[in-house]
Amino acid sequence: MLQLHTVHEVGLFGLLIAKIRMHGELTERDVIAIRDAPYSLVDYQRNHRITNFRKVPRSVHVLTSGLACLSIVASDGRRQITRLLLPGDFCNAFDAQPLASLEGIDILVPSRMAAIPDNAFRQISGSVSMQHALFAMVIDAAASARSVIASLGRGDARGRVAFLLCDLAQRMTARGLLSTPGDPLPLRQDHIADATGLTSVHVNRMLAQLRQEGLVSGGGTIVQIADVTGLRVAAGLQHC
Protein backbone atom coordinates (compact mmCIF):
# COMPACT_ATOMS: atom_id res chain seq x y z
CA MET A 1 0.00 0.00 0.00
CA LEU A 2 1.17 3.55 -0.70
CA GLN A 3 2.39 5.23 2.44
CA LEU A 4 3.63 8.61 3.62
CA HIS A 5 5.68 9.37 6.74
CA THR A 6 3.40 12.21 7.86
CA VAL A 7 0.57 9.69 8.30
CA HIS A 8 2.18 8.70 11.57
CA GLU A 9 2.54 12.33 12.64
CA VAL A 10 -1.05 13.47 12.22
CA GLY A 11 -2.99 10.22 12.15
CA LEU A 12 -5.03 8.50 9.48
CA PHE A 13 -5.79 11.75 7.64
CA GLY A 14 -2.19 12.91 7.30
CA LEU A 15 -2.29 12.47 3.54
CA LEU A 16 -5.52 14.45 3.27
CA ILE A 17 -4.10 17.25 5.40
CA ALA A 18 -0.94 17.31 3.27
CA LYS A 19 -3.00 17.60 0.08
CA ILE A 20 -5.25 20.36 1.42
CA ARG A 21 -2.18 22.30 2.57
CA MET A 22 -0.95 22.27 -1.02
CA HIS A 23 -3.97 24.46 -1.86
CA GLY A 24 -4.22 26.80 1.10
CA GLU A 25 -3.13 27.68 4.62
CA LEU A 26 -4.79 25.67 7.39
CA THR A 27 -5.10 26.82 10.96
CA GLU A 28 -4.15 24.58 13.86
CA ARG A 29 -7.87 24.25 14.59
CA ASP A 30 -8.47 23.03 11.02
CA VAL A 31 -5.78 20.37 11.35
CA ILE A 32 -7.11 19.19 14.71
CA ALA A 33 -10.66 19.03 13.32
CA ILE A 34 -9.55 16.85 10.40
CA ARG A 35 -7.31 14.68 12.53
CA ASP A 36 -10.02 14.03 15.10
CA ALA A 37 -12.89 13.57 12.64
CA PRO A 38 -15.09 10.50 13.22
CA TYR A 39 -14.83 7.87 10.51
CA SER A 40 -15.54 4.29 9.49
CA LEU A 41 -12.94 2.27 7.59
CA VAL A 42 -13.90 0.27 4.52
CA ASP A 43 -11.47 -2.13 2.81
CA TYR A 44 -11.74 -2.96 -0.89
CA GLN A 45 -10.03 -5.64 -2.95
CA ARG A 46 -8.52 -5.12 -6.38
CA ASN A 47 -10.99 -4.97 -9.28
CA HIS A 48 -13.92 -4.02 -7.02
CA ARG A 49 -16.21 -1.44 -8.65
CA ILE A 50 -18.19 1.08 -6.61
CA THR A 51 -21.25 2.71 -8.17
CA ASN A 52 -22.59 4.08 -4.88
CA PHE A 53 -21.67 4.25 -1.20
CA ARG A 54 -24.88 2.93 0.34
CA LYS A 55 -22.98 0.66 2.73
CA VAL A 56 -21.89 3.79 4.60
CA PRO A 57 -24.59 6.36 3.70
CA ARG A 58 -24.27 10.12 3.70
CA SER A 59 -20.51 10.16 4.13
CA VAL A 60 -17.52 11.77 2.46
CA HIS A 61 -15.02 9.08 1.46
CA VAL A 62 -11.25 9.64 1.54
CA LEU A 63 -8.78 7.17 0.08
CA THR A 64 -6.24 6.45 2.84
CA SER A 65 -4.15 3.75 1.15
CA GLY A 66 -3.94 1.95 -2.18
CA LEU A 67 -4.87 3.21 -5.64
CA ALA A 68 -8.26 3.74 -7.29
CA CYS A 69 -9.74 5.65 -10.20
CA LEU A 70 -12.86 7.41 -11.40
CA SER A 71 -14.05 5.79 -14.60
CA ILE A 72 -16.87 5.59 -17.12
CA VAL A 73 -17.83 2.34 -18.81
CA ALA A 74 -18.96 2.72 -22.42
CA SER A 75 -21.90 0.83 -23.89
CA ASP A 76 -19.51 -1.73 -25.40
CA GLY A 77 -18.01 -2.46 -21.97
CA ARG A 78 -14.75 -0.61 -22.45
CA ARG A 79 -13.54 1.47 -19.51
CA GLN A 80 -12.23 5.04 -19.69
CA ILE A 81 -10.30 6.10 -16.61
CA THR A 82 -10.98 9.79 -16.05
CA ARG A 83 -8.97 10.36 -12.87
CA LEU A 84 -6.51 8.35 -10.83
CA LEU A 85 -7.19 8.58 -7.10
CA LEU A 86 -4.23 8.63 -4.71
CA PRO A 87 -4.18 8.35 -0.92
CA GLY A 88 -5.44 11.65 0.46
CA ASP A 89 -7.90 12.19 -2.39
CA PHE A 90 -11.62 12.63 -1.88
CA CYS A 91 -13.58 9.94 -3.67
CA ASN A 92 -17.03 11.54 -3.59
CA ALA A 93 -16.83 14.87 -1.76
CA PHE A 94 -17.56 17.26 -4.61
CA ASP A 95 -19.52 15.14 -7.06
CA ALA A 96 -21.73 13.32 -4.51
CA GLN A 97 -22.42 9.88 -5.96
CA PRO A 98 -21.81 8.56 -9.46
CA LEU A 99 -24.85 9.40 -11.55
CA ALA A 100 -25.46 5.98 -13.08
CA SER A 101 -24.16 2.43 -13.20
CA LEU A 102 -21.86 3.31 -16.11
CA GLU A 103 -19.98 5.77 -13.89
CA GLY A 104 -18.10 4.72 -10.81
CA ILE A 105 -14.90 4.14 -8.86
CA ASP A 106 -12.63 1.19 -9.63
CA ILE A 107 -10.21 -0.20 -7.05
CA LEU A 108 -6.91 -0.85 -8.84
CA VAL A 109 -4.97 -2.36 -5.91
CA PRO A 110 -6.13 -3.42 -2.42
CA SER A 111 -7.25 -0.12 -0.90
CA ARG A 112 -8.82 1.41 2.18
CA MET A 113 -11.21 4.35 2.46
CA ALA A 114 -12.26 6.34 5.49
CA ALA A 115 -15.91 7.41 5.49
CA ILE A 116 -16.47 10.69 7.36
CA PRO A 117 -20.14 11.30 8.25
CA ASP A 118 -21.62 14.11 6.17
CA ASN A 119 -22.55 16.27 9.19
CA ALA A 120 -19.02 15.95 10.61
CA PHE A 121 -17.48 16.95 7.28
CA ARG A 122 -19.73 20.02 7.08
CA GLN A 123 -18.39 21.12 10.47
CA ILE A 124 -14.79 20.49 9.43
CA SER A 125 -15.21 22.50 6.22
CA GLY A 126 -17.03 25.38 7.89
CA SER A 127 -14.01 27.61 8.54
CA VAL A 128 -13.02 30.28 6.03
CA SER A 129 -9.53 28.82 5.65
CA MET A 130 -10.89 25.36 4.87
CA GLN A 131 -13.44 26.75 2.41
CA HIS A 132 -10.71 28.65 0.55
CA ALA A 133 -8.47 25.57 0.39
CA LEU A 134 -11.28 23.26 -0.76
CA PHE A 135 -12.37 25.76 -3.41
CA ALA A 136 -8.77 25.93 -4.66
CA MET A 137 -8.76 22.12 -4.83
CA VAL A 138 -11.85 22.18 -7.05
CA ILE A 139 -10.25 24.74 -9.37
CA ASP A 140 -7.05 22.70 -9.54
CA ALA A 141 -8.98 19.50 -10.31
CA ALA A 142 -10.82 21.26 -13.15
CA ALA A 143 -7.55 22.57 -14.59
CA SER A 144 -6.04 19.10 -14.37
CA ALA A 145 -9.06 17.65 -16.19
CA ARG A 146 -8.58 20.16 -19.01
CA SER A 147 -4.93 19.13 -19.34
CA VAL A 148 -5.98 15.49 -19.61
CA ILE A 149 -8.53 16.39 -22.29
CA ALA A 150 -5.84 18.24 -24.22
CA SER A 151 -3.52 15.23 -23.99
CA LEU A 152 -6.19 12.80 -25.16
CA GLY A 153 -7.49 15.12 -27.86
CA ARG A 154 -4.23 16.32 -29.37
CA GLY A 155 -1.54 13.92 -28.24
CA ASP A 156 -0.37 10.91 -30.22
CA ALA A 157 -0.08 7.52 -28.49
CA ARG A 158 3.48 8.18 -27.30
CA GLY A 159 2.51 11.60 -25.95
CA ARG A 160 -0.56 10.28 -24.12
CA VAL A 161 1.45 7.63 -22.30
CA ALA A 162 4.21 10.11 -21.50
CA PHE A 163 1.72 12.63 -20.15
CA LEU A 164 0.01 10.08 -17.90
CA LEU A 165 3.31 8.88 -16.41
CA CYS A 166 4.61 12.42 -16.00
CA ASP A 167 1.41 13.68 -14.39
CA LEU A 168 1.13 10.75 -11.98
CA ALA A 169 4.77 10.99 -10.92
CA GLN A 170 4.40 14.73 -10.30
CA ARG A 171 1.27 14.24 -8.17
CA MET A 172 2.80 11.41 -6.16
CA THR A 173 6.13 13.18 -5.64
CA ALA A 174 4.45 16.42 -4.55
CA ARG A 175 2.44 14.50 -1.97
CA GLY A 176 5.40 12.51 -0.70
CA LEU A 177 4.20 9.17 -2.09
CA LEU A 178 7.38 8.87 -4.15
CA SER A 179 10.84 9.75 -2.88
CA THR A 180 11.84 10.76 -6.41
CA PRO A 181 10.03 10.76 -9.78
CA GLY A 182 12.21 7.77 -10.69
CA ASP A 183 10.61 5.42 -8.17
CA PRO A 184 8.40 2.64 -9.61
CA LEU A 185 4.90 3.81 -10.51
CA PRO A 186 1.90 1.72 -9.33
CA LEU A 187 0.36 1.28 -12.77
CA ARG A 188 -0.19 -1.82 -14.84
CA GLN A 189 -0.38 -1.82 -18.61
CA ASP A 190 -4.17 -2.16 -18.61
CA HIS A 191 -4.46 0.86 -16.29
CA ILE A 192 -2.39 2.93 -18.72
CA ALA A 193 -4.47 1.66 -21.64
CA ASP A 194 -7.77 2.56 -20.00
CA ALA A 195 -6.49 6.01 -19.02
CA THR A 196 -5.13 6.86 -22.48
CA GLY A 197 -7.79 5.25 -24.68
CA LEU A 198 -5.26 2.84 -26.20
CA THR A 199 -5.13 -0.93 -26.35
CA SER A 200 -2.78 -2.84 -24.04
CA VAL A 201 -0.80 -3.96 -27.10
CA HIS A 202 -0.35 -0.35 -28.21
CA VAL A 203 0.67 0.70 -24.69
CA ASN A 204 3.25 -2.09 -24.63
CA ARG A 205 4.73 -0.76 -27.87
CA MET A 206 4.82 2.82 -26.59
CA LEU A 207 6.51 1.78 -23.32
CA ALA A 208 9.07 -0.19 -25.32
CA GLN A 209 9.72 2.89 -27.46
CA LEU A 210 10.06 5.14 -24.40
CA ARG A 211 12.50 2.62 -22.89
CA GLN A 212 14.55 2.59 -26.10
CA GLU A 213 14.68 6.39 -25.97
CA GLY A 214 15.91 6.23 -22.36
CA LEU A 215 12.86 8.09 -21.02
CA VAL A 216 11.52 5.26 -18.86
CA SER A 217 13.09 2.14 -17.39
CA GLY A 218 12.05 -1.04 -15.61
CA GLY A 219 11.22 -4.44 -16.98
CA GLY A 220 8.02 -6.43 -17.05
CA THR A 221 5.18 -4.58 -15.34
CA ILE A 222 7.51 -2.11 -13.58
CA VAL A 223 7.58 1.42 -15.01
CA GLN A 224 10.06 4.01 -13.77
CA ILE A 225 10.82 7.46 -15.14
CA ALA A 226 14.47 7.62 -16.20
CA ASP A 227 14.48 11.10 -17.80
CA VAL A 228 11.95 13.54 -16.34
CA THR A 229 12.81 16.40 -18.69
CA GLY A 230 12.72 14.20 -21.76
CA LEU A 231 9.41 12.65 -20.75
CA ARG A 232 7.87 16.10 -20.31
CA VAL A 233 8.94 16.98 -23.83
CA ALA A 234 7.44 13.72 -25.08
CA ALA A 235 4.19 14.60 -23.28
CA GLY A 236 3.94 17.69 -25.46
CA LEU A 237 3.49 20.12 -22.57
CA GLN A 238 5.86 22.48 -20.82
CA HIS A 239 5.08 20.92 -17.46
CA CYS A 240 2.92 18.11 -16.14
100 in the same domain as 19: yes
One domain for residues 120 and 161? no
CATH number, residue 168: 1.10.10.10
Same domain, 122 and 160: no
Which pTM value belongs to this model? 0.85
> Is 167's pLDDT higher than 70?
yes
Query: Would you say residue 149 lies in a domain?
Result: no
| Domain span holding position 53 | 7-126
Going through 94-148 in order, the beta strands assigned E by DSSP cover 103-117
Residues 122 and 65 in one domain: yes
Residues 177 and 229 in one domain: yes
Residue 34 belongs to a domain with what CATH number?
2.60.120.10
Q: Does residue 228 lie in a domain region?
A: yes
Q: Looking at 79, 109, 126, which one is the last position of a domain?
A: 126
Which tens digit of pLDDT belongs to each residue from 64-106? Answer: 999 999 998 888 888 999 999 999 999 875 444 444 556 789 9
Number of domains in the chain: 2
- Helix, strand or coil, per DSSP, at residue 116: strand
Phi, psi of 81 (to 5 degrees): -75, 125
Whether the CB-CB separation of 64 and 113 falls below 8 Å is answered with yes
pLDDT of 197-226, one tens digit each?
Answer: 999 999 999 999 999 999 999 877 789 999
